[in-house]
Structure 1
Amino acid sequence: MTGELDRRAMVTLSGGHLSVDFASGAVPALLPFLSDEFDLSYTATAALILAVLVSSSLLQPLFGLWSDRRGAMWLLPGGVALAGIGSGLAAVAPSYALVVVLFFVAGVGIAAYHPEGAKLAAYASGRRRASGMSYFNIGGNSGYALAPILITPLVIWLGLGGGLLAMIPVVAFSLFLLRVLPSLRPLVPSVTGRRVAVGEDDTRAMFLLSLVIGLRSVAWFALLAFVPLWVVANGGTEGEGGRELALMLVSGAVGTLVLGPVADRIGLRRTLLVTQAALPGLIVVFVAVGGLVGTLALMLVGLFVVGTFGVTMVLGQLYLPRRVGMASGLTIGLAMGIGGIAAVVLGALADAIDLETALYVAAAGPAIGAIVCLFLPAPIVRLPQAVEPAPAVIV
Structure 2
Amino acid sequence: MSNQKIYQYLMAFGHFCSDINQTALTALLPFLIAIHHYDYTTAAMLVLVANMVSSVVQPLFGHLADKFNWVWIVPVGLLLAGGGIAATGYTSDFWQLCLAVMISGIGIAMFHPQAAKLVNLASGLHNRGTALSIFAFGGSTGAAMGPILITASIALFGVQGTLTFLLIELLACLMIGRYYRALTELNGGSIKAKQANAQATQQDQWGAFSVLCVVMFGRSIIYYGLNTFLALYWINVLGTTETVGNTMLSIYYTIGAICTLFGGKLADKFGARNVLKCGFAVLFPSIALLAMTGNELFASALLLPMGAAIHIVYSPTVVLGQQYLPNRIGFASGITLGLAISIGGITAPILGKIADIYGLTTALYSVALVPLVGAFLLAKPKD
Aligning the two structures, in what range does the TM-score lie when normalised by the shorter sequence? over 0.9
Q: CA RMSD in A?
A: 1.7
Cα deviation per residue 1:118-147 (whole Å; 9 max; x = unaligned)?
Answer: 011011121211111001111111111111
The residue aligned with 2:248 is 244
**Separation (CA, whole Å) in 1 of partners of 2:91 and 2:316:** 37
Structure 1: unaligned runs, 5 residues or longer: 382-395
Change (3 A) 1:144 1:191: closer
SS of 1:377's equivalent in the other structure is coil
Structure 2 residue aligned with 1:231, among 229, 234, 251? 234
**Structure 2 residue 219 is matched with structure 1 residue 216:** yes
Number of the residue aligned with 2:286: 282
Separation in structure 2 between the aligned mates of residue 304 and residue 27 of structure 1, nearest angstrom: 23
Note if contact 1:5-1:125 (Cα within 8 Å) is conserved in structure 2.
no
- Paired residue for 1:23, among 21, 38, 46? 21
Would the aligned equivalents of 1:276 and 1:304 in 2 still touch at CA under 8 Å? yes
Partner residue, 1:137? 136
Deviates most, 83-92 or 178-187: 178-187
Q: Does 1:69 align with 2:67?
A: yes
Give the partner amino acid of 1:324. I
Q: Is the 8 A contact 2:287 2:306 kept in 1?
A: yes
From 54, 57, 67, give the equivalent of 2:55.
57
Secondary structure, counterpart of 1:236 in structure 2: coil
What letter is aligned with 2:182?
Answer: S
> How far, CA to CA, are the matches of 2:306 and 2:192 in structure 1?
43
Shift of 1:94: 2.1
Change (3 A) 1:5 1:276: farther
Structure with greater proportional helix content: 2
Task: Name the residue aligned to 1:182.
Answer: 181
- Partners of 2:303 and 2:340 in 1: how far apart? 19
Give 1:317's aligned residue.
322
Task: Name the SS for the 2:327 alignment partner.
Answer: coil
**What amino acid is the match of 1:102?**
A
Which residue of structure 2 lines up, in the alignment, with residue 88 of structure 1? 86
Is 1:173 paired with 2:177?
A: no
> 1:133-176, CA deviations, whole angstroms, 9 ceiling, x for partnerless residues?
00111111111111112221321333212222243122232233
Q: Could you say which residue in structure 1 is the equivalent of 2:377?
A: 375
1:354: how far off? Answer: 1.3
Residues 5 and 132 in structure 1, CA contact (< 8 A), matched pair in contact too: no
- Cross-structure match for 2:193: 193
CA distance in 2, matches of 1:232, 1:84: 27
Deviations 1:62-109 (A, max 9, x none): 001011011210011100111111111113322121111100000010
- Whether the 8 Å contact between 1:23 and 1:167 is mirrored in structure 2 is no
User: Counterpart amino acid of 1:148?
Assistant: P
Q: Does 1:33 align with 2:14?
A: no
Distance across 2 between alignment mates of 1:166 and 1:328:
25
Cα pair 2:24 2:149 within 8 Å, conserved: no
Instruction: Indicate conservation of the 8 Å contact 1:272/1:308, yes or no.
Output: yes
Q: Residue by residue, what CA displacement relative to the aligned partner does 1:179-214 show, whole Å, maximum 9, x if unpaired? A: 421121332325992121231111110110000000
Give the aligned residue type for 1:286: L
TM-score, structure 2 normalization: 0.94
Structure 1 residues 336 and 38, CA, compared in 2 at 3 Å: closer, same or farther? farther
Could you say which residue in structure 1 is the equivalent of 2:149? Answer: 150
SS where residue 125 of structure 1 aligns?
A: coil
Q: Distance in 1 between matches of 2:135 and 2:233?
A: 31
**Alpha-carbon distance, 1:256 to partner:** 0.8
Q: Say whether 1:339 aligns with 2:338.
A: no
Alignment partner, residue 264 of structure 1: 268
Residues 298 and 185 (structure 1), Cα distance of their counterparts in 2 relative to 1, 3 Å cut:
same
CA deviation profile, 1:335-354 (whole Å, cap 9, x unmatched) = 33421111111111111221
The amino acid of 1:96's aligned partner reads F
Alignment match, 1:273: 277
SS in 2 for 1:94: coil
Partner of 1:384: none
1:226 counterpart letter in structure 2 = F
Q: Percent identity?
A: 34
TM-score for both structures, normalised by structure 1: 0.91
Partner of residue 122, structure 2: 124
Deviations 1:264-302 (A, max 9, x none): 111111110011011011111222224222212123212
TM-superposition CA deviations, 1:229-252 (whole Å, max 9, x none): 111112111101100110111111
- CA distance in structure 2 between the partners assigned to 1:192 and 1:264 by the alignment: 20
The SS at the match of 1:363 is helix
User: How far, CA to CA, are the matches of 1:120 and 1:191 in structure 2?
Assistant: 11
Opposite residue 176 of structure 2, the aligned amino acid is L
Partner of 2:43: 45
CA distance in structure 2 between the partners assigned to 1:58 and 1:303 by the alignment: 29
Aligned equivalents of 1:287, 1:164: Cα separation in 2: 35
Greater CA drift, 155-164 or 183-192: 183-192
> Is 1:351–2:351 an aligned residue pair?
no
Residue 236 and residue 192 in structure 1: after superposition, are their counterparts in 2 closer, same or farther (change >3 A)? closer
Letter in 2 for 1:37: I
Question: In 1, distance between residues paired with 2:363 and 2:343?
Answer: 16
Cα distance in 2, alignment partners of residues 86 and 178 from structure 1: 21
